[in-house]
Structure 1
Amino acid sequence: MLVSVTGATGFLGAHAVAAIVRAGHRVRVLVRESAPVDARVAAALDPLGVDPSAVCVVAGDVTDPARVAGLVRGADAVLHAASVYSFDSRDHRAVAATNARGTEVVLGAARAAGVGRTIHVSSVGALLPARGRPLDEDSPLGAPRETYLASKAAADAIARRHRADGAPVLISYPSALIGPHDPRLGDQNARVRNALRGLMPIWPTGGIPVGDVRDTAELHATLLSTPDTATGRHFGPGHYLSTREFMAVLREVTGRRLPAVRLPARAMLPLGALTGALQRVWPWHIPAEYGAIYTCACASAVSDTADTAGVHPRPVTETFRDTVRWLHRDGRLTDRQAGAVGRERTEVSPR
C-alpha cells in the first residue's frame, strides 16, 4: 500500500511514518520547502530507524493545491497529520491561516483523486469544552475560545462534512502527546522539560488526557486497514491526568521533589491572556500560555469505552521515563534535572 502523509517531519507524523513503514507499506511525504527538505526528513525519521528507501519526498505546503494533488495522486491512503500546533501567541496568524485551509485542500484533493481511505488527525481539544462529560466518538464538536483549539475544531468540521458527503474519511483524536524523539520539541515535551528545569512552579488545577506518541502512531497505522465504523472516529490511547498527577509521575520517575503550587485554572486565565499579549513582544518563550491554562480548565477524560481501534496505552510511567531519558540524552536536561532517569543506562525504544 502507498500511503501519502502530511506533517511527516512533526512529532506525531514522524512516529506515524515509522509505524506505517514497520507495517510494510510505502510512504510518500509532503515537506515544506522552508529548510533543506532532505535534511528535515532525515532529522525526523533517522532516529526512528526508518529505511530511507521506503519514503518518497514531495516538496510543498498543505495549502498549495497543486503540490497536494501531486502528493495524493496514485495513493491508496492518506494520513493528514499536518497542522501548526502552538499555544504561543506569536504563532496565532500561522495557526489560523494553515490548519483549516490545509485540511480543506488535503481532504478535497484525496477525494478528487479517489483515494480509498483518508485519515484526518484532529485533537481531543476540538471537542472542548466538554463540561465534564467523558469524551467519546459521539461527542459533538466543541466551540473552544482559544486560537489553536478553535482551528482544530474548524478542521474537524471540514472532515466531518466530507465524511457526511460519502467520502472515505476517518477522524482520529490524539490526546496531548509526549514521548521520545520529538523533532522540534513540541508543546507537551517542552512542558515536561520546563517542569524539570524549575520554570513552572505554578500550575493550574484541572488536567488533560495524555498519550504516548508511539501508541497514537500505532493507532494510525492500524486505521489504514481496520473496518470502518458508524462514526469513523477513533481516540488515541492514553490516560487522563490531573496536573497534580502529572507532577506526581514526574516526581516518581526522576526521584526529585519538584515543588509546585496549584491555583484555580479559571482564575489563572487572565494571567494567561496577559502573558500572551506580552509574548508578542518578548523574545523568549513564556511557559504560562493561555491555551494550556484554558485546556486544563476545560478538558475532560476520554471514556473507557471510546474506540481506540484495539490499541491500548502503555503505562504512563513508561511514557514519562522514556521522555525524560530522551530529553537527557539529547542534551536538553542536565544530569541533575533528569534525576534518577539520568543515571539509567536503558535504551529508549521507538516502540
Structure 2
Amino acid sequence: MRVVITGASGFVGCHAVAALQAAGHEPVLLIRDPEKTARVLASVGVTETPETHKADIRDARAVRACLERGEAVLHAAAEIGITGRGGDLAGTNVTGLRNVLGQAAELGLDPIVHVSTTTVFIPPRGPVITADGPLSSPRTEYGRTKVDGERYARALQDDGHPVTIVYPPGVIGPHQPKLDSMVEGLRGGLVQGWPITTGGAGLMDVRDLAVALTRCLEPGKGARRFLLGGHFLRWAELADVCDEVTGRRCRRYPAPAALLRAAAAVLDTVKKVRPVDYPLTRDAVDIMVTTVPADDAETMDALALRLRPVQESVADTLRWLAEAGHIAPRYIGRLARTSQSEEDIAL
C-alpha cells in the first residue's frame, strides 16, 4: 500500500518509515527538509530514501498534491511543547492536522491514521485512562492544540470517514532526532536526579509504536480509536529501573506536587532570561503528577501487539543517549561498558 507519511524526520515518523518498509508498504514522504530526513532515516537503517515531496503541512495546496500520490496516510507530524521547546504549536498541531486529515478524507484515502497522545485525557477524571474517557481542558498551549486537533479528528470520524486515532504514552527508545519529552526526561533524571512525586509515566518503545501504527493500516475498517498505555511506572519505580540497567544509584529527592509546580514555575521564568538544561516546566509537571495507568487491553488484542520489556527500552535509550553525546558515559554505568564491548566485537 502507498502510504503518505508526515513527520518522517521526527522520532515516531522515522521509525514508522522503517516499520512500513519492513511490512511491505511503500512510504511516500511529505517533508520540509529532504537532507535532514535522509540523515534521520539512515540512523534507523533506511538507506534508500523513499519517494519524497517537499512541503510544509501548513500549506494546504502542497499537502493535497502529496496526498494525491497515496492510498492511505499516517499523520505523525506534531510539535511537542511539553518541555518548553515547541515551535509553531497551533500551526502544526491544528492547521497542519486539518490540512492532512481533512484533505485525506476528501480524497477518499483509507485508512487515515492520526498519531495523537494520551495527554489529551490528562488530567484524567478517574484512576484509569480509557479511550472513551472525556477529553481534558488543558491550561497550556500545547495541550490546547492537541485537544483541538483531537476534536477535529473525531468530527471526521463522526462524519463517517475512516480515521484511526492512536494514543501513545511517553515514547522512548534510540535515535531521537531532537530530544524532547520522555527521552529528555530520562536524561534529566540520570543527571539531575528523579523527583519522587505523585503520578507516574506510561512508557512505550518507539519501535513497538511503529509496529502498532503499521498494523493500523488496514482499509475498510472504518473509524477506530486505539489507546496505548505502555508500561506504567511510578516515578520511584522508573528510578529503580534506571538503577537496574545501569548498575548505579540514581539520585532521588522527595517532591510534593505543590512544591514541584512552584519550582517549575520559577524555572520557566528563569529560562526566559538564560538557558537552563533541565526539562522541568510547569506544563511537564501538570502531566507528570496527574498521569495514571491506561487500559489498553482491547488495543493490544486488536493489533496483536506485544511490548518489549521496559528494561530493554530504557537501556537502549540510555545507551544511545551516551553514544550520541547527549549524556556523559559515567551516568549510564555498566551500559557504557556494554556498548564499548559491542563495538570491539563489531571491529
Q: Does the pair score TM above 0.5?
A: yes
Gaps of 5+ in 2: none
Task: Tell me the distance in 1 between the aligned counterparts of 2:72 and 2:220.
Answer: 14
Shift of 1:226: 7.5
Matches within 5 A, 1:130-149: 130-149=124-143
2:24 is equivalent to residue 24 of structure 1: yes
Shift of 1:277: 2.8
Which of residues 217, 230, 242 in structure 2 aligns to 1:238?
Answer: 230
2:333 aligns to what SS in structure 1? helix
Residue number in structure 2 paired with 1:275: 267
Which digits, 9 at most, give the CA deviation of each residue in 1:36-84, with x for residues without a partner? x23211221112111425x111111111101110121131110111111
How many percent identity over aligned positions?
Answer: 34
Gaps of 5+ in 1: none
Which of residues 43, 46, 50 in structure 2 aligns to 1:50?
Answer: 46
2:178 is equivalent to residue 189 of structure 1: no
Q: What amino acid sits opposite 2:55 in the alignment?
A: G
TM-score normalized by structure 1? 0.91
Residue number in structure 2 paired with 1:169: 163
Which of residues 201, 204, 208 in structure 2 aligns to 1:211?
Answer: 204
Which of residues 257, 278, 288 in structure 1 aligns to 2:280?
Answer: 288
Shift of 1:208: 1.5
Q: What amino acid sits opposite 2:70 in the alignment?
A: A
Residue number in structure 2 paired with 1:152: 146
Q: Is 1:90–1:280's contact at 8 Å kept on the other side of the alignment?
A: no
Q: What amino acid sits opposite 2:60 in the alignment?
A: P
Residue number in structure 2 paired with 1:178: 172
Q: What amino acid sits opposite 1:265 in the alignment?
A: A
Structure 1 residues 336, 285: closer, same or farther in 2, change over 3 A? closer
Structure 1 residues 116, 226: closer, same or farther in 2, change over 3 A? closer
Residue number in structure 2 paired with 1:86: 81
Task: Tell me the distance in 2 between the aligned counterparts of 1:22 and 1:90.
Answer: 32
- Backbone CA RMSD of aligned residues: 1.9
Which digits, 9 at most, give the CA deviation of each residue in 1:253-280, with x for residues without a partner? 0011112102122432232223223322
Runs of 4+ that moved beyond 6 A: none
Instruction: Choose 317-326 or 143-152, whichever is displaced more.
Output: 143-152
Residue number in structure 2 paired with 1:40: 36
1:52 aligns to what SS in structure 2? coil
Q: What amino acid sits opposite 1:85 in the alignment?
A: I
Q: Is 1:5–1:30's contact at 8 Å kept on the other side of the alignment?
A: yes
Matches within 5 A, 1:69-84: 69-84=64-79
Q: What amino acid sits opposite 2:192 in the alignment?
A: L
Shift of 1:252: 0.6
Task: Tell me the distance in 2 between the aligned counterparts of 1:340 and 1:227.
Answer: 49
TM-score normalized by structure 2? 0.92
Which digits, 9 at most, give the CA deviation of each residue in 1:308-330, with x for residues without a partner? 32212111001001111111222
2:88 aligns to what SS in structure 1? helix
Q: How many residues align?
A: 339
Q: Is 1:137–1:306's contact at 8 Å kept on the other side of the alignment?
A: no
1:234 aligns to what SS in structure 2? strand
Q: Is 1:279–1:285's contact at 8 Å kept on the other side of the alignment?
A: no
